[in-house]
Structure 1
Amino acid sequence: MKDDQSGPRVCDCRESSPGGVCDAALAAYRRALSDGSLPAGEVPRCLSALHLLVADRGTPERLVPVPPGTAVADALGPIEAVIAREQRTLRSARAALTLFEDLYADARRLEPSALTRLTGAAVIGKALGAAAAGCRTEVRTAHPGGARPAPVLAESLPRDVGNLRRGIRQRTIYQHTVRSDRATLAYIERVTTEGAEVRTLAEVSDRIMVFDQDLAFVPFSDEPHSALRIEHPALVRFLARHFDEAWARSVPVRPERVPLRTPVVTTDLQRTILRAVVGGETDESIARRLGMSRRSVVEHVRRVSERLGSTSRAQLGYLVATSGLLEA
């Protein structure tokens, strides 16, 4: 009998162990060594399979014992031949696949790279300028970190206005904190008069720029002035969908209307801060992530602490989590 979990056995009787033989086979071989031979009908099948008992020429009805060292060639030779043949087949298949791998790599090298690392502010600026100039229908941009530096806004303004005037749709997402930054608001007012659409969220996960549906830029790493230019259609579509989902949750910015801090914006910002408090984040971490000053975060936390009667940060996290303030 064979054990499916242990693989094939030399001896297939019920009493044998994996990789071993049964007591009957051992006893029969011992008796053959003692008596000089055994009747053929009394020899276990495994002894014949291992070529340990063979027919005597003079008395074919009796089998004589063969030394195990002598039986090796007959017992293992066919198995080793099969193994050698399979090893040759394996080597041949591996060599063939290596040749095809070389062909595949050569073909890929001839294709333009879908991902290109850009390093340096000047290089990135030129790449963005070329992308904007070649844009046909729409630009999507998302910017984390709160207020944008005035020099960056000044550099972007002519390019963005030029695109808007030639009919390119421009949608931009900032964080809520830009609503109190004069330079960013001045830029927003200028581009929205040309037809741009601007919205804000409490938090923007990372910087994204998508041109049409075939070109995108994201940060390459946390290093400054390092970007990844993406032309892979699937990745660009993914980033565009990610932007559109964030756009659906964001709040429009209309500089001509006051106040810019609407109840929706204030509630969204407070809820995001409170979620971070419940998650155990420090004021510094929250301020950095939301693009606001630590003092503003402290003031938000202080007001909620007074409202809930909290006397410690740990107690505040518990009270916030159980108060219903985080419910949408």
Structure 2
Amino acid sequence: MCRDTEKIHPDEPAVLCQAGLAAYRAALAHGSALAPVPECVRELGLLRPHGDDPDVYVPVPPDVAAHRLGRPVERALLEGQQWLLSLRDSLAPAERLYREEQQRAVSPVRVLRERGVIRDTLRTLSESCRHEFQAAQPGGPRDPERLAVSLPGMLALLGRGVRYRTLYQHSVRTHGPTLDFMEQVQAAGGRFRTLDELFDRMIIYDRAVAVVRDQRYSATGYALLIEHPGIAGFLAGVFDHAWARAEPVAHDAAHARPAPLTDEKRRTVLRLMVEGHTDAGIASRLGMSPRTVATHIKRAADQFGSRSRAHLAYLLGKSDILD
């Protein structure tokens, strides 16, 4: 058989069978072949009826046969290319108009440069916030002056009935100015929770607008204002997930200050050390000082009687203290 009807598309060229090759070889050797000849060599144009005798087939060079069979396809390709060029020409005015309008439209993401611009933007967004405020503030204890400046705005948010939630790292639980700030905001209805590790700084207003650090720059004076509700909503969901895993910060009469979670912080420090992080790297991730990190590691070394950092990592790996 020259065709496998189950495997070959009807529009695909025929496949040479052994009988067809034998007939083509005989025609090349003798100058012609008598009918009947296999269907494949006829379809491919390798054997063509003689003009004077339709029962006699003459051989045709393969390149000549291919050129003859391929002419309709080449013609269709050329027509298709011309059609595509015409289509692009027809749509060119609309493309120019579209690009002009896109350039004039307000971008859903804007770069904020310089700390004063960032502060003014945050103040404006806070004043217009009506339903929910979410903030992730990594880096450990906050600057007391900045906390004092931001406190009136946060209390004003809560006074309008805005739901207020902020995530810090565990290291703030021993920082007096940050705890005082949280206590005042909590008294007005705000809520705080802490995690050992926290993603980068971000503030979300009404789940529709967000401000995040521009990670293209190492300096802190660059931020991104995201006014796309879909992106801001996604970030709000990330915050919700972290909030569900975080530890609440509670101020009450029985406990004037929230628990410092010392054991949990120490486990996190040791886990990162076992993973190979330096003291400075651990301190940056957990929002604490390198000296505090070194203290946690030294206490663990004394407890396990380790001779070196590598030996301590080995002993910690064998124990269940990090589980």
Match of 2:272 in 1: 276
Report the counterpart of residue 295 of structure 2 in structure 1: 299
Q: Is 1:320 aligned to residue 319 of structure 2? A: no
Partner of 2:193: 199
Q: Does 1:217 align with 2:214?
A: no
In structure 2, the CA distance between the partners of 1:60 and 1:199, relative to structure 1 (3 Å rule), is closer
TM-score, normalization: structure 2?
Answer: 0.83
- Structure 2 unaligned residues grouped into runs of 5+: none
In structure 1, which of residues 233, 244, 247 is the aligned counterpart of residue 243 of structure 2? 247
Letter in 2 for 1:31: H
Other-structure match for 2:27: 28
1:236 maps to 2:232: yes
SS at match of 2:238: helix
**Alignment RMSD, CA only?**
3.3
Cα distance between partner residues in 1 of 2:60 and 2:168: 88
Mapped to 1, the partners of 2:16 and 2:59 lie a distance apart of: 21
Distance 1:290 1:257, change over 3 A: farther
CA–CA distance in 1 between the matches of 2:40 and 2:252? Answer: 93
How much does 1:51 deviate? 4.1
Structure 1's unaligned 5+ residue stretches are none
Conservation of the 8 A alpha-carbon contact between 1:283 and 1:298: yes
Q: Tell me what 2:15 maps to.
A: 12
1:85-164, aligned counterparts within 5 Å?
Answer: 85-92=79-86, 105=99, 108-109=102-103, 111-164=105-158
1:180 CA displacement = 2.7
Amino acid at match of 2:232: V
> Is 2:36 the partner of 1:38?
no
Measure the CA separation in 1 of the matches of 2:221 and 2:195: 24
Report how far residue 68 of structure 1 moved. Answer: 6.5
TM-score (norm 1): 0.81
Partner secondary structure for residue 16 of structure 2: coil
Q: CA deviation at 1:57?
A: 4.2
Q: C-alpha distance in 2, partners of 1:2/1:296?
A: 79
Structure 1 distance, partners of 2:22, 2:84, is: 38
Does residue 170 (structure 1) correspond to residue 177 (structure 2)? The answer is no
C-alpha deviation, 1:169, in angstroms: 3.0
> Aligned equivalents of 2:71 and 2:235: distance in 1?
62
Q: AA paired with 2:238?
A: H
How far apart, CA to CA, are the structure 1 residues paired with 2:25 and 2:89? 46
Is 2:114–2:221's contact at 8 Å kept on the other side of the alignment?
yes
CA distance in 2, matches of 1:70, 1:320: 78
